[in-house]
A and B are shown apart, each in its own frame.
Chain A
């Protein structure tokens, strides 16, 4: 589905080049369940943004279903993110001035095609499924971290994406709540067949995935040290 070929991403701080990731070769297939494991600053988030088309590589190619995405316009990339990718972040990244329901509905506002579902009905179903339907009219800062992360997952799922990208989704949660979130993500892969990629620095979490990729200093390595 998504292929990275010799991908490098550098940031420039003045004249200084910071190579966040480099020489990444990676193929992600339909229904994959991948853990990306690495220490802090190793380039995990950067890699995830590249896979999710939020960032364009400095060199190399990102190929989505056979097409080189560097040739796509901002509008095309936004449309693909909207339709096929769902992001889940460590800091939840909900919009605090919107209610839970409004946050879940946000991606549907950017759908230029006609939706094949009723957005509110689907949002309610997801919230019910995640056990937070009674919080649908709350503002994010009035619910617990675990609940916020469920809202974020519901938002990631509302457009029926092909892939969920979760960047340290348990980083701000206690271990019990974290486990529940990981279970939830696993079930999405098992039951719905969604490709799930979990970025983490915890081996225990990565163990739950079907396949693991180790990253160190921006490069994929054979074994996590």
Chain B
């Protein structure tokens, strides 16, 4: 009986919309735009998060990352602007730092990294890529796999052999087939390297376009300052992270001032970046909410007009036995349905946009966004519909029935 009654209300409201298509559509437009923008913004926020996570997950787990400058400290006024090697000034790490850090017994891997963007030449092609000087453990912590050939070893490092491993994209650009690269010679600046391997593509721009060489080989020529921008400390045991961070700081403080370098772990960077994006997201959602609010007021406005238009109908219904609550439900059903209709339309359009944008950027919709869209639009329907519906319910039956 109850359900039947509810269904009757929905059906009556829908028939009403059918007779007033244009007005119903225009009324729900505000909610549609509001939900559309809120859902898109959530999708964009999630997309950015996904993108960043992908970037970080291309590094192996349990990494301590050391770089010059300071991202986390407010006391130094550093902030995100100083993020990343080379921006901050601060310490220039050298081989001595690297070697001292290798004495941390809890760290299974210690990997120094020098990197600069350069033009890379084969016999026939010139491509833009990233020249990197590092050690043989880099392949481990970067999770690289060979597509062809092999990676360089510790003895290549000590012997300063002029060998290089190419990222798959770069190899593709320089040679007809990335597999042809092995055995060929490439040139970076004045320096020649023999290609001994190609690393499988990972989706990381820098690594996929990288020329990875033993760092000692690059000293004096491509890395004339003999410095590193980043030093990675890796462990297989998550529990050692804190110890490694503490000991790395102790070691570096012997040579550098506090604030000249940052010792952090990848999850910390991730959470800093996430924090910044949640603030940006909150602002965007607040903007979207304003259009929801405006949409809600639009619905309220139309519902007041509808109540006035149907004053006589209210009187008739009251005469044949409708209670105040029945009348309230009738008008509330209309405003909620209008609102949900607008919300669903917004959701559908947002989903289509997400499907299209997805080809270029990892935006995503989740159940939360869908839930929010529906909950918010029905909430708005109820909130803004309740005032006009109350007016209808409180109409004195006689005055309503005499209304012309």
Chain A interface (Cβ within 8 Å of chain B)? 49, 52, 54-55, 74-75, 78-79, 81-83, 87, 89, 93-95, 97, 106-107, 109-112, 114, 155, 159
B172 within 8 A of A: no
Interface flags for B318-337 (1: CB within 8 Å of A; 0: not) read 11111111100000000000
B19 within 8 A of A: yes
Partner of B398, one of A54, A78, A81, A112: A54
7 interchain residue pairs of minimum CB distance: A82-B321, A110-B321, A107-B320, A78-B323, A75-B323, A81-B321, A87-B319
In the complex where A54-B397, A97-B16 touch, is A75 in contact with B325 (Cβ < 8 A)? Answer: yes
A82 to B317 CA separation, bound complex (whole angstroms):
10
B313 within 8 A of A: yes
In the complex where A55-B398, A93-B312 touch, is A110 in contact with B322 (Cβ < 8 A)? Answer: yes
Q: Which of B16, B316, B325 has the most CB of A within 10 A?
A: B316
Chain B residues with CB under 8 Å of A97's CB are: 16, 19
B367 to chain A, nearest CB (A): 36
- Chain B residue nearest to A73 (CB atoms) is B323
B1 within 8 A of A: yes
Chain A residues with CB under 8 Å of B1's CB are: 112, 114
- Chain B residue nearest to A84 (CB atoms) is B321
In the complex where A49-B398, A93-B401 touch, is A83 in contact with B321 (Cβ < 8 A)? Answer: yes
Question: Is A78 touching B316 in the complex (CB atoms < 8 A)?
Answer: no
Interface flags for B15-43 (1: CB within 8 Å of A; 0: not) read 01001000000000000000000000000
B205 within 8 A of A: no
Chain B residues with CB under 8 Å of A114's CB are: 1
A64 to chain B, nearest CB (A): 15
Chain A residues with CB under 8 Å of B397's CB are: 54-55
Chain B residues with CB under 8 Å of A106's CB are: 316-317, 320
A111 to chain B, nearest CB (A): 7
Chain A residues with CB under 8 Å of B401's CB are: 54, 89, 93
B8 within 8 A of A: yes
Size range of the chain B interface in the assembly = 20 to 34
A122 to chain B, nearest CB (A): 15
Partner of B320, one of A49, A55, A74, A155: A155
Question: Is B313 touching A95 in the complex (CB atoms < 8 A)?
Answer: yes
Question: Is B16 touching A78 in the complex (CB atoms < 8 A)?
Answer: no
A73 to chain B, nearest CB (A): 9
- Chain A residue nearest to B402 (CB atoms) is A45
B153 to chain A, nearest CB (A): 85
In the complex where A93-B312, A97-B16 touch, is A107 in contact with B398 (Cβ < 8 A)? Answer: no
A46 to chain B, nearest CB (A): 8
Question: Is B8 touching A93 in the complex (CB atoms < 8 A)?
Answer: no
A70 to chain B, nearest CB (A): 16
Chain B residues with CB under 8 Å of A55's CB are: 397-398
- Chain A residue nearest to B2 (CB atoms) is A112
Chain A residues with CB under 8 Å of B324's CB are: 74-75, 78
In the complex where A55-B398, A93-B401, A95-B313 touch, is A87 in contact with B320 (Cβ < 8 A)? Answer: yes
B297 to chain A, nearest CB (A): 26
A94 to B321 CA separation, bound complex (whole angstroms):
15
In the complex where A49-B398, A95-B313 touch, is A81 in contact with B319 (Cβ < 8 A)? Answer: yes
Partner of B319, one of A54, A79, A112: A54
Chain B residues with CB under 8 Å of A82's CB are: 320-321
Question: Is A93 touching B316 in the complex (CB atoms < 8 A)?
Answer: yes
- Chain A residue nearest to B9 (CB atoms) is A109
Chain B residues with CB under 8 Å of A52's CB are: 319
Chain A residues with CB under 8 Å of B318's CB are: 54, 78, 81
A–B complex contacts, Cβ < 8 Å, 14 sampled: A52-B319, A55-B398, A78-B318, A78-B324, A79-B321, A83-B321, A89-B401, A97-B19, A106-B316, A107-B320, A107-B321, A109-B8, A110-B320, A112-B1
